[in-house]
Amino acid sequence: MLVVDVDDDLSRAGIATPLLGEGEVLRAAERFALYDPEDSDLNALFAAVKIARELRGRGYDAVPGVVAGHEAGGTEAALRAREQLEELLRRSGFDGVVFVSDGSEDETLLPVIESMLPVYGVERVIVKQHRGVEETYVLLARYIKKALTEPRFARLFLGIPGVILVVISALALLGMLRQALLTGLLLLGVAMVIRGFELEDRLVSLFSETPVSMIAYGTAGLSVALAVGLLVSQVYGGVGSPARLAAALRGFTGLVGFAAGIALFGHAVSKLITGTLRPGRELVYVAVVAASLVLMEKIAEAASLMKSLSIGSFIEALVEVNFALYVVASILGLAVAWRLGRYLDAVLHEEEGAGEGPGAGGRGGDEGGGASGRSVSRGAGRSGAPGTAPRG
């Protein structure tokens, strides 16, 4: 019976995880109840013990266990929960889990658990409450306090609205209230996209690889923001004629191309510094950027050939510049670049493996099966444990 405390509330009560066995879980539940009796994780702990007792009464070998994530959530929480579940697997030979959840947030780690061993079921613990007006206000106040005090919620409920309010206020003081509202909506949309697709961890890793990547991505981001701002301002001010629209699109394409070039260069240099450069993948990135810029340039060319600012005239201009042909050629070019990139990476990987093979073997012999031997014996121990699926 596995309970996952995804935001690691238990650590604030001084409870170290992982926990295994009814005694450990009950002692932790009692200590956590004295620390925060209103937290829903407390109900999940007692529910795990109750379900384990019921299953043991039916003849099953059921044991409650607890693992915790991280208060930051996201990838860091998933990695920490996986490490603790691996420790529980080393301590016990159970062959599957029943996931005991107190909310949908904990269930985000289900894929991590399912990648390690079978999940036989999910038990959701729903707290019964009297939903009177007073209780609703109290519950609302508690959630507001949680949003203000816990870092991962404060970033969402305070940080993003704070940035939007500062930008809107600054533009309003400059007499650009309408632009301020549009900019605020743009920032809100970007924040929703980043949060919705869980891009925070990826963006942090990109900017923290090396100082080169931070400077390159920062410059690229500013260039893209400048390109979007100039294009919006020109369109908002009225392009007037197809020639002016084409000039605006060409200026936008030039700045975006500069930003993409800086980002690709910084990414390649950063990977080269850290020793993780994959030329095949970089080739695919270059091909994607080149194809995108060519298509954007053809759109600008079509805009310059428009007879009037209308959709029909724009479609006729796209046909005149053979835009569909360029789209097909771009798709074929990307397919060729992708295959060539995979082949190049595979060849380089084989050469590196051939070059490191003798050295690795010599080290293994000199050290008497040091790191290599430890890895094999650890894997064998796990696969040999009763009821545990063998791991590669």
Half-sphere exposure of 376 toward its Cβ, with a 13 Å CA cutoff?
7
**pLDDT, position 322:** 92
What are the residues whose beta carbons fall under 8 Å from the beta carbon of 76, sequence distance 6 or more? 69, 70, 201
**pLDDT, position 389:** 42
**pLDDT, position 93:** 75
**pLDDT, position 149:** 76
What are the residues whose beta carbons fall under 8 Å from the beta carbon of 81, sequence distance 6 or more? 4, 6, 67, 68, 69, 109, 112
Rg (CA), the chain: 28
Q: What is the pLDDT along the chain (392 residues), one digit of tens a residue?
A: 889 888 888 888 889 989 999 999 999 999 999 988 878 788 889 999 999 999 999 988 899 999 998 887 778 888 888 999 888 888 887 888 998 887 767 777 888 888 888 888 888 887 665 455 545 666 677 777 777 777 767 777 888 888 888 888 887 888 877 777 877 888 888 878 877 777 777 776 766 667 888 888 888 888 888 888 888 777 776 767 888 888 888 989 999 999 999 989 988 888 888 888 888 888 999 999 999 999 999 999 998 888 888 888 889 999 999 999 999 999 999 999 999 988 888 888 787 766 655 544 444 444 444 433 434 333 434 334 444 444 43
Report the C-alpha gap between 333 and 211 in whole angstroms: 33
Half-sphere exposure of 187 toward its Cβ, with a 13 Å CA cutoff?
17
| Total count of residues recorded for the chain | 392
Q: How far is CA 207 from CA 78, 161, 214, 217, in A?
A: 21, 23, 5, 7
Q: Helices in the chain by DSSP H: which ranges?
A: 22-35, 40-57, 74-91, 110-114, 133-149, 151-154, 160-173, 177-196, 200-207, 211-237, 242-274, 279-304, 311-320, 323-366, 371-384
Specify the pairing of strand 2-5 against strand 97-101.
Answer: parallel
**pLDDT, position 162:** 84
Report the C-alpha gap between 83 and 71 in whole angstroms: 16
For residue 156, give the DSSP letter.
I
**pLDDT, position 273:** 86
CB atoms within 10 A of CB 157: 15
Contact 382, 89 (CB under 8 A): yes
**pLDDT, position 386:** 41
What are the residues whose beta carbons fall under 8 Å from the beta carbon of 285, sequence distance 6 or more? 264, 267
CB atoms within 10 A of CB 248: 20
Q: Which of 5, 27, 159, 144 is nearest to 71 (CA)?
A: 5
Contact 125, 101 (CB under 8 A): yes
pTM over 0.75: no
| CA 4 distance to own-chain centroid | 20
CB atoms within 10 A of CB 120: 10
Give the domain ranges of the chain: 2-124, 209-354
SS3 2: strand
